[in-house]
Amino acid sequence: MNLYVLLKMVPDTVEELNVSADGQSLDSEFLRFKLSEPDDHALEQALLLKEKHGGTVTVVALDAPEVDDVLFTALAKGGDRAVKIPIAQAGLGTAASAGVLAAFFAAPGAITPDTLLLPGSQAIDDLEGELAPLLAAALNLPYVGVVCGVQAADGKATILKEFAGGLRAEFEVALPAVLGIQSAEKPPRYVPVAKVRAAMKSATIDTAELAPPDRPVQLDIARLYKPEAAGRAEMVEGAPADVADKLVDVLAKHSVV
Amino acid sequence: MVATREPAVVDRTTTLETLLQTPAGKRMMTCIQCGTCGGTCPYGDTMDFSPRLVINMLRGGFMDEVIKSESLLQCVACYACMAKCPRGIRLTDVLLPLVKEQVLVTHTPMPAEFQKSLENMNRYGNPMGESPRKRAAWTATAGVKIPIMAELKREVDVLWFVECYTSFYARGQDNSRATARLFNALGVDFAILGNEEKCAGECGQLTWESGLFESLAEYNMKVFNKYKFRRLVTGDAHAYNAFHFRYPMFGLTQPAEHTTQFLARHLDRLKPMLKKPLDLTVTYHDACCLGRATGSYDEGRALLQAIPGVKLVEMVHNRVNSLCCGGGGGGMWLDTYYKQKGMDRLSDRRVKEAIATGADVLAVACPYEISRFEDALKVVPHTKPIVVRDVVELLAESLA
């Protein structure tokens, strides 16, 4: 199979996110980026499919801080080829990102009859999960999103898709296709650091030169701000017996007891 | 004969394939298959391949079978097998980590909790996945000024390597605050690395992850080389183990000491300051990385006995026979896995021994043990209250 995984870098929320002085963007001073979690699952799903059916796994990413580490890690995990598109992801909206990626896949021979494009189903800065359907539309390929399992056979893929309320459905889709991956069939695998370091020494990242998009963003951010607290928790203090009495009052007040 | 840990028996490049050509590997050929290692191993009864069998399989060229099994996931790097080996074979720090590394390469998936901790150590420099920019945040609660190397811009006598659990884990910070008070009282010329510090990586090396260990050791060495200091002191027995044995292979030239060793060396000056009697019966748990790994059994006990009112009692397993808390070699993040396998938690076994002494306090000298034993005490029934305290916490409390 010809498997492509689209990797996107998102802000690492282990560091506190702050709004910068312009009130429209994240303060980049301490911002670190990491691989979007559904994309990590997309990579795992691709590696599982390769192990089952053979083929190649190509990981593709736009330029972003720490993206090289992520690409080398993907190679160390079993990816065959890594491609970086030297256009900064940070300045692009989802539609523009999809446009650049569509241009990459429009190259002759990129998409073969046994191709699956596997982006993550969503990202913390694309909760609507627009990238995958926009890319599928631009390439005129079928699309299924929120995928949590993929079986492939005879030019078709059988897809397990999750719905709200614990429902799951099975879809059949003809290849080539775009599948937005929510979770792989197994948790993303561990790759020993020694393997990543070896990949950094021996492997290379290919570069695909593409024209930057005409319209990098289609939505203007009017104001970016932290959620304002609407109410606060009430701390009950005092000796245990007093606390118990106060707690009973509070529960009674709210008709819990 | 007990294995001694002279570093020259292997070097950084030794692998499972080259091991038998090294002095440590040649010694493995002299194994008499007595089985003392498997018998003393706290999980020896649940392993498919006990340390004795691992040596036999290595000599017979059947390591693939060992690597395919999950046996080595059960090694908590407690040094018991190595300390008891009559042939002085380097099991815990040489053979077993090399096998474990291959287990990690071949075994997917790894237990999730364990995998996350290794990934966190690699990305954030601490296993809990906390922001590296908050590593020195505890110093605001220290009560005394904690100098930071980057700000001090001069040579110090002691570079205090604080480590992860003592920086981020709320109960672990009690150890750091106590150490700061003790250093201050003794007038120690010290500083810490602050947010520049990353995990020493001992659990990487002993665990399985030589690449992770190398990357952390190279990083920390680069930071050490920016500054001038005469000695490294750390309250983390695991970090001490790494600095003492492995970091010299990465170019560390300064001596390393564990806090208990450093304070015991200054006991003449410290003792007159310990004026507040604590009136406690205390039992001391030998940390594997201090006791069996380096023979440091007396320092923790000497410090406890210097505290007025402290009565020291021993658990049934003590000193070289001490029972591991189960946190070493990656065990810290394998509790769920052990539970799933129906195995005993070693920390539960150990607190039962502590309870049996009737002590008021289970004293420890390794930051893993605070959380492990406090958790164990929550599930092991006991009537008389017993608490877990680090030796430095008790010393600081006794300061007038």
Per-residue pLDDT band for B6 (boundaries 50, 70, 90) equals low
Residues β-bridged to residue A178: A117, A143
What is the per-residue pLDDT for B210? 84
What rounded mean pLDDT belongs to chain A?
A: 94
Per-residue pLDDT band for B72 (boundaries 50, 70, 90) equals confident
**Weakest mean pLDDT among A134-143, A190-199, B7-16:** B7-16
Q: CB under 8 Å to B209, separation ≥6 — which residues?
A: A192, A193, A194, B101, B104, B118
Residue A197 lies in a domain: yes
- What distance separates the 2 farthest-apart alpha carbons in chain B? 62
Q: What is the CATH number of the domain that holds A176?
A: 3.40.50.620
Cβ–Cβ gap B211/A193 under 8 Å: yes
CB-count burial class (<10 Å; 0-12, 13-18, 19+) for B99: buried
Residue A54 lies in a domain: yes
Per-residue pLDDT band for A256 (boundaries 50, 70, 90) equals confident
Higher pLDDT, residue A164 or A257: A164
From A15, A192, A197, residue closest to B133, measured CB to CB: A15
Residue A235 lies in a domain: no
**ipTM higher than threshold 0.90:** no
What is the per-residue pLDDT for B5? 54
Residue A134 lies in a domain: yes
Q: State yes or no: pLDDT of B399 exceeds 60.
A: yes
Share of chain A above pLDDT 70, in %: 100
Per-residue pLDDT band for B200 (boundaries 50, 70, 90) equals very high
- Across the range B67-77, mean pLDDT stands at 89
Residue A39 lies in a domain: yes
- Across the range B333-355, mean pLDDT stands at 94
Q: State yes or no: pLDDT of B222 exceeds 60.
A: yes
Per-residue pLDDT band for B3 (boundaries 50, 70, 90) equals very low
Residues of chain B with C-beta less than 8 angstroms from the C-beta of A194: 101, 209-212, 214
- Across the range A242-249, mean pLDDT stands at 93
What is the per-residue pLDDT for B2? 46
Per-residue pLDDT band for B1 (boundaries 50, 70, 90) equals very low
What is the per-residue pLDDT for B334? 93
Say if B112 is an interface residue toward chain A (CB within 8 Å): yes
Residue A182 lies in a domain: yes
Enumerate domains of chain B plus CATH numbers: 19-106 (no CATH), 112-265 (no CATH), 267-398 (3.40.50)
pLDDT tens digit sequence for A95-115? 999 999 999 999 999 999 999
Q: State yes or no: pLDDT of B8 exceeds 60.
A: no
What is the per-residue pLDDT for B103? 85
Q: State yes or no: pLDDT of A119 exceeds 70.
A: yes
Maximum average pLDDT range among A133-147, A182-196, A234-248, B67-81: A133-147
Residue A223 lies in a domain: no
Q: State yes or no: pLDDT of B95 exceeds 70.
A: yes
How many other C-beta atoms can be found within 10 angstroms of the C-beta atom of residue B296?
22
Q: State yes or no: pLDDT of B395 exceeds 90.
A: yes
Residue A221 lies in a domain: no
Q: List the domain range (segments joined by +) for residue A29.
A: 2-207
Cβ–Cβ gap A192/B122 under 8 Å: no
What is the per-residue pLDDT for B186? 98
Per-residue pLDDT band for B204 (boundaries 50, 70, 90) equals low
> Can you read off the two tokens belonging to residue A76?
């160390």
Taking the CA of residue B232 and the nearest CA in chain A, the distance in Å comes to 27
- Torsion angle (degrees, nearest 10) of CA A8, A9, A11, A13: 80
Rg (CA), chain B: 20
Cβ–Cβ gap A16/B214 under 8 Å: no
Helices and strands in chain B: count of H runs, count of E runs: 21, 8
- Across the range B212-224, mean pLDDT stands at 95
Number of independent structural domains in chain A: 1
Say if B13 is an interface residue toward chain A (CB within 8 Å): no
Cβ–Cβ gap B209/A187 under 8 Å: no
Whether pTM > 0.90 for this model: the answer is yes
Checking DSSP bridges between strand A2-7 and strand A168-174, what pairing results, if any?
unpaired
Please give the helix or strand (H or E) that residue B232 lies within, else none. Answer: strand B229-234
